Chains A and B, each alone.
Chain A
Amino acid sequence: QSVLTQPPSASGTPGQRVTISCSGSSSNIGSNAVNWYQQFPGTAPKLLIYGTNQWPSGVPDRFSGSKSGSSASLAISGLQSEDEADYYCAAWDDSLNGVIFGGGTKLTVL
């Protein structure tokens, strides 16, 4: 059972803006930065957003992250077909002394 809660699925049409939520608690999202990963089938995950709202080199600014209290969100604007993938949020948990992941959200581009 994941400590961070994400919707199992999300969808949108090309050009739309889609958001994926990630709900946690005061011991993780509430007190630490949030990271987001993108994973395509059969490949390793890729860091998409770190430090809640920072972009690694090469990640387009169509992807953005935010946080409010113990919840975080990943927003994808100008949705493209190649954005169809699984998305995971993650954060350090001070109570568990470890990293916790959300259960993942499968994004479908209709």
Chain B
Amino acid sequence: QVQLVESGGGVVQPGRSLRLSCAASGFTFSYYSMHWVRQAPGKGLEWVALISSDGTKRYSADSVKGRFTIFRDTSKKTLHLQMNSLRPEDTAFYYCARDNGSPGAPFDNWGQGTLVTVSS
């Protein structure tokens, strides 16, 4: 079965960097676009970034543009999110999600999430 397992979250000071990872299994990773979505504690969902199946196209939300980079390692079936210049408002649960390829980019499988806390 499809499984997505995030790791790399933790407590980090403002201005520092953190890299999140998402290990994929149970499906052909190279066939699917992948996303990161975040959710501040007690708040709603916010899309963060998208990478195409072949890694050639990347899009990100304005709130993280220039600071966060999404990339993938197909050989290791792993999705990453490199987060630089972190701010307190980046504090959230970060989920990786698989795009099922239908119009509108539906996320048909989600990881359990990893918590990033940006605080001094």
Which among B35, B37, B103 is the interface contact of A33 at CB below 8 angstroms? B103
Interface of A is mostly: strand
Q: Mark A11-50, 1 if CB is under 8 A from B, else 0.
A: 0000000000000000000001111010100001111001
A1: min CB distance to chain B, Å? 11
- B54 interfacial by beta-carbon distance below 8 Å: no
Residues of chain B contacted by A51 (CB below 8 angstroms) = 102-104, 106
A33 touches B44 (CB 8 A): no
Interface residues contributed by chain B, number (CB under 8 Å)? 24
A20: min CB distance to chain B, Å? 14
- A100 interfacial by beta-carbon distance below 8 Å: yes
Residues of chain B contacted by A45 (CB below 8 angstroms) = 37, 45, 95, 107, 110
Given contacts A44-B112, A45-B110, contact A37 B102 (CB under 8 A): no
In the complex, 6 of the A-B residue pairs with CB atoms within 8 angstroms, ordered by the A residue number, are A44-B111, A50-B100, A52-B104, A90-B106, A92-B105, A98-B61
Cα A81 to Cα B44 in complex, Å, equals: 22
